[in-house]
Amino acid sequence: MEDVIYVKELTKRFGDFTAVDEISFEVRNGEIFGFLGPNGAGKTTTIRMLAGLSKPTAGNASVLGFDIRSEIINVKRRIGVVPEISNLYDELSAFGNLLFMAQLYGVAPSLRKKRAEELLKTFRLYERKDGVFRSFSRGMKRALTIAAALVHNPEVLFLDEPTIGLDVVAARSLRNLMSNLHRQGVTIFLTTHYLEEADLLCDRVAVLVKGKILAVDSPQKLKEKTDKKTLEDAFINITGLEPEVLAVEKGK
């Protein structure tokens, strides 16, 4: 299975503070790869570098074979990014937001309406297509934000804490949507601090603490290597941190 993301000693410093410290990993084509770690571990900073929203201080990385320093325009055309805080417009309708994003991503004018309608139906938002974004529930906003990131059929989807702050039903619904995208062959790079979410969804995870990667493997193999029955216990064994640091939410 070929690698679609390649990262070698990637580093990001803000003055004297090192947010991401010489991390190296690969993401395989078609997998859900999880960045698992507490708040402040460097997860969002890593996504921002890979998506061309922040320049690395040192190290190298490529996405879909394109260097993130010299070929970032080619990267941006082929990826979708779902930030922790939505980038959609409160005053636009669900349909209007998708049409605008389709235009922004360069989707052909003849295809924009069809693509927007398909995504609204897929995400079960079609009946609310004329509703303004600000009126949506938190779960609906997350769903529409993911739909917007998919409007141009990206090969890689970056999801930054997609279920944070959602109720149990909305979180489960979004996880089902992620599983469906996975089955369709979309490569998903997921950041989360929910251990259960990583265990349920991810083919492999990288354990990230204070900007450093401490382990990379499948959830099952991490449990086997540490002789633990749960990913929570394996995480504690690997990091020395308590699960409370991850703000683990049971049942989500």
Domains of the chain, residue spans: 3-246
Structure confidence at residue 252 (pLDDT): 40
Contact criterion met (CB below 8 Å) for 53 and 125: no
Q: What is the DSSP letter of 55?
A: -
Q: Model's pTM, two decimal places? A: 0.90
**Residue the block writes with tokens 């009946």:** 127
The rounded distance, in Å, linking the Cα atoms of 53 and 133 is 24
CA 138 to chain CA centroid, nearest Å: 17
pLDDT at 250 over 60: no
Q: How many CA atoms lie within 13 A of 233 on its CB side?
A: 10
pLDDT in tens, 164-205: 878 888 888 888 888 988 998 999 999 988 888 899 999 999
Q: Helix %, strand %, coil % for the chain, to 5?
A: 40, 25, 35
Is the pLDDT at 242 greater than 80, yes or no? Answer: no
pLDDT confidence band for 244 (50 / 70 / 90): low
| Domain over 3-246 is classified CATH 3.40.50.300 | yes
Instruction: Compute the average pLDDT of residues 18-44.
Output: 94
